[in-house]
């Protein structure tokens, strides 16, 4: 009897302490978010559809991508299985998750410049975006322009005034009654947008006023275009040799913060995938060792490795109509499926590996295929989560929700930023 009532009291205490912390906490809610790649929800192997999303673990999800078109008054969902967008929003809302659409992307930034290129076009584009948000009952729009006054995929329209025009557009969007109500964010590079001279803005406070937050895409920092094998998503790089300082979460937060973006408006973008490189045995290992992997080894840039079954870069023309080389991307699930990592996502003794101290990211080497892979695992996601918590960032955004395996990465970063499952929902 005594122990029974004690148990009930204890349970009540647990319940009220969770409810209490939700209601009265002055701590802002940490953003736990990911992008959903619409084109992986069908006709992909494997598919990652709406039923695969761990809704209860997210506060925000970004359906990707809607793209500006040659006509400024429209957005298109072509190539992203837009048919599932209504269900995406409905399921998000049923789970108390904010539903955003990400606009643009690497393949979808061709017509941003003209969409915001004149006062008339900006007004039309505001209407296109607000009509789209209203039609689909969206909570927010995540602008992923890659990148203002900076060529991305190769055939984007670029204008020296892109960044000023983008700001003028965002201010007009904010002044609109529908736009005022939306959560507006931007997926950004490691440095602030380029001004008309092509240099990073030193004052982004006007952007901080219009955006609820920015999601800094801290990945693809090293890849097939680099001069050596380096980290896809480095947490830090100021501890690396000068030549290997190509940017990191640390450098990005510093750059945006110094230019006037409050840390509590910075969401760290994290990657559920890695890049592979063709590296021979001589280069892969530290001289004289057959087990210890070398840091920043050279790779054979003439061989673009095929990544996992989602790597279709060489099979389909890109948005510029060109066939690209293989992407060499391995999603986290595929590292496990290939047996490069065990079922818990841990290293195995079958593949030489290392954890790089400065970037706080793992590497592994597949000797018979001559492949070195830079990726993220539970340990690197924990390090990134600790950084978010320590520096008071707004939260994290993972590209992409479908890259994970059994939520190993998601659970690691959620736990590190202090999101406790017991008190959710």
Ligand X SMILES: *[C@@H]1O[C@H](CO)[C@@H](O)[C@H](O)[C@H]1NC(C)=O
Q: In the complex, which residues of this chain contact ligand X (CB under 6 A)?
A: 46, 48, 52, 71-72, 114, 117-118, 121, 159-161, 177-178, 181, 203, 205-206, 236, 238-239, 250, 280, 282-283, 298, 300, 333, 344-346, 378, 387, 402, 408
340 or 387: CB nearest ligand X: 387
105 or 362: CB nearest ligand X: 362
Least separation in angstroms between residue 345's CB and ligand X is: 5
Those residues whose C-beta lies under 8 Å from the C-beta of residue 65, and which sit 6 or more positions away, are 38, 77, 80, 101, 102, 103, 104, 105, 107, 108, 144
Least separation in angstroms between residue 181's CB and ligand X is: 4
149 or 232: CB nearest ligand X: 149
Least separation in angstroms between residue 120's CB and ligand X is: 7
Write out the two tokens for 235: 């947490």
Q: What is the enclosing helix (H) or strand (E) of 354?
A: strand 353-356
Least separation in angstroms between residue 114's CB and ligand X is: 4
Least separation in angstroms between residue 234's CB and ligand X is: 10
77 or 201: CB nearest ligand X: 201
Burial 114-137 (b: 16+ CB within 10 A, else e): bbbbeeebbebbbebbbebbeebe
Least separation in angstroms between residue 77's CB and ligand X is: 19
Phi, psi dihedrals of residue 36, rounded to the nearest 5°: -105, 120
| Nearest residue (beta carbon) to ligand X | 117
Q: How open is the CA angle 68-73-74, to the nearest 5 degrees?
A: 45
CB 31 within 8 A of CB 183: no
7 or 350: CB nearest ligand X: 350
19 or 286: CB nearest ligand X: 286
Of 18, 92, 58, nearest to 407 by C-alpha is 58
Alpha carbon distance, N-terminus to C-terminus of the chain: 31
């Amino acid at each position: 009897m005594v122990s029974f009532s004690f148990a009930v009291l204890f349970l009540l205490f647990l319940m009220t302490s969770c409810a209490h912390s939700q209601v009265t906490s002055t701590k802002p809610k940490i953003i736990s978010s990911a992008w959903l790649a619409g084109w992986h929800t069908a006709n992909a192997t494997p598919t990652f559809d709406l039923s695969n999303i761990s809704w209860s673990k997210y506060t925000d999800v970004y359906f990707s991508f809607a793209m500006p078109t040659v006509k400024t008054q429209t957005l298109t969902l072509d190539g992203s299985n837009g048919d599932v967008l209504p269900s995406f929003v409905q399921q998000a809302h049923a789970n108390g998750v904010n539903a955003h659409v990400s606009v643009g992307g690497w393949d979808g930034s061709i017509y941003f410049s003209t969409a915001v290129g004149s006062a008339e076009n900006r007004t039309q584009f505001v209407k296109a975006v607000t009509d789209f948000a209203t039609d689909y009952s969206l909570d927010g729009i995540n602008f992923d322009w890659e990148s203002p006054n900076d060529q991305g995929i190769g055939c984007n329209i670029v204008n020296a005034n892109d960044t000023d025009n983008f700001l003028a557009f965002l201010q007009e969007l904010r002044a609109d009654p529908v736009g005022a109500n939306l959560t507006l964010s931007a997926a950004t590079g490691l440095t602030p947008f380029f001004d008309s001279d092509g240099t990073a803005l030193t004052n982004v406070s006007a952007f901080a006023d219009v955006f609820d937050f920015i999601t800094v895409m801290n990945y693809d920092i090293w890849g097939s275009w680099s001069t050596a094998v380096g980290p896809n998503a480095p947490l830090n790089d100021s501890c690396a040799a000068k030549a290997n300082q190509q940017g990191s979460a640390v450098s990005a937060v510093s750059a945006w913060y110094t230019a006037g973006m409050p840390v509590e408006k910075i969401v760290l973008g994290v990657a559920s995938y890695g890049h592979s490189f063709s590296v021979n045995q001589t280069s892969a290992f530290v001289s004289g060792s057959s087990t210890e992997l070398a840091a920043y080894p050279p790779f054979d840039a003439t061989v673009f490795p095929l990544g996992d079954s989602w790597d279709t870069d060489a099979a389909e023309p890109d948005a510029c109509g060109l066939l690209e080389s293989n992407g060499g991307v391995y999603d986290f699930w595929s590292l496990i499926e290939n047996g490069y990592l065990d079922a818990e996502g841990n290293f195995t003794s079958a593949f030489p590996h290392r954890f790089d101290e400065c970037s706080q990211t793992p590497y592994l080497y597949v000797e018979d295929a001559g492949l070195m892979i830079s990726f993220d695992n539970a340990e690197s996601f924990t390090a990134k989560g600790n950084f978010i918590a320590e520096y008071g960032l707004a939260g994290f955004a993972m590209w992409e929700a479908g890259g994970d395996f059994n939520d190993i990465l998601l659970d690691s970063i959620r736990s590190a930023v202090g999101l406790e499952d017991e008190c959710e929902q």
